[in-house]
Structure 1
Amino acid sequence: MLIRLLPDQEKNLLIDIAELLAFSDNPVLWDGKTYDELTADTDLSNISIQANEKENELIEELKQSAGITGIWDRSIFSRNADIESRLVKNIKALSIHKTQESIARASAAKIVLAELLESQDEFRPETPKIMLFEMFLVALRDGVVSAIEQELLHEFKKLCKLPDFIFDEIKERAEVLNSEISKTISLVLE
C-alpha cells in the first residue's frame, strides 16, 4: 500500500522482511515431514519451511504494489538474499525440539532481520514507519499476529530506534485498516 513511497533499495528490503515475517512462523519440515511425522528414517539435515499459498500471494501483491512485476531480479537492487535459506540456516542450529518453541524460532528470525538491516544505509525519517506499517499488514494477513511475528516487529522497532508511541500508533492503524478491509470483503461477498 505505502510501499510505493519507498526508494527501490528500500522496497527490496521491505519485501525481504515481509518474506521473513511470512516464513518465520510456518511449520518446519524435515525431509518434507512435520515434527509430529518424524520417523527414524527421516533425513534430519534436509530442513525446509512449509510454504503457505496465501502468504506467497501476499508477497506477490506486495511486489506488484512496489512496481515489481514479472520475474524479479534481485541483483538490480544489489541484494542477493534468499530469506528462506538464511532462516533455515539459523533453524538448523537449533535442536529439533527447540524448533517448536516460539522464542527459539523468533531468535533465529531476529538474526536474519538484524543481518538485513545492518547492511542498510541510514533511512529517511519516514522509511521505518512505512516499513513497519506494511510489516503489520503482512503479519495481520490471517487476522492475528503470531508470537514470532510480534517478536520480529518489536525487534524491527528496536533496531530502527522507533519510539513506543509510534509503534503502538502504527499497529493500531494497521489493525483498523485490516479490520475495515475484512468487513468490506464480507459485505461485498454477501
Structure 2
Amino acid sequence: MHIKDTDTLLFIGDSITDAGRDRTDPASLGNGYVQRIAGTLGDRAGAGQGPTVINRGISGHRVYDLEPRWTTDVIEHRPDVVTVKIGINDTWRRYDQELLSPVEEFEACLDGLLTRTARETSARLVVITPFLLPVAPGQEEWFEDLTPRTEAVLRSARAHDALLVRADLVLSRAAEDKEATELARDGVHPTPLGHRLIADAWFTEVAPAS
C-alpha cells in the first residue's frame, strides 16, 4: 500500500493500541506501536509533514465497546486507513470476571464494524490479530477461548479483504529466542520491544519501505 503524506491513518482498539495516550489530547498517540508507526512515517516524509495519525484505542475495551463509538471515533474522521486491534479483552474477561464473549457474537460484531467502514468510507482496512504470551499461572488455559477468537478475526479480515498483521505469530516466534516477559510482561501488554515488533510487522504488511 502506498501511504501519501495527505492521508489520515486511524488506529482503534484496546490498551495495546491506547498505550497510555492522554485522552484529553486528541493528538496524543500513547507510547506504543502507534507512536512508533507515526514516527517512522514522519521520518520517511522528511521535510514534509507526513500523514495524520489518530489513536482511538481505549484500555479495557472489548469488541462490543467499539461499536457505540465507531461513528465518532472512526467514520467521522474520514480516514484513508483504519487499523483495528481487538480481541484479547474478550478472552481475558472470561477468566477474570466470568464475562463471556461468545465467538459467534464477537465475529458478528467485528464483521459489522468492518462492513460499516467499507460502506461509509473509502478507507483501506488493516486488522491486527490478538495475541497472548503466557507468563502467569493459568494463562495457558486462555487459548481455549483465544484460538477460536483469533480464527474469527482472520475470517472477518479476509472477508473484507483487509491487510492482516499477525501479531500472534510475530510475538510467539520472538518468544522462541527471548523470555516472554521481555515482550509482554504480563503476557498481554507489550514491552517497548513488543511494541516495536508490532510496528515492524505493520510496516511489513501495510507500508514497506520503497
Structure 1 and Structure 2 fold alike (TM over 0.5): no
Asked which structure has the greater CA Rg, the reply is 1
TM range (shorter): 0.3 to 0.5
Output the TM-score relative to the length of structure 2.
0.38
Output the TM-score relative to the length of structure 1.
0.41
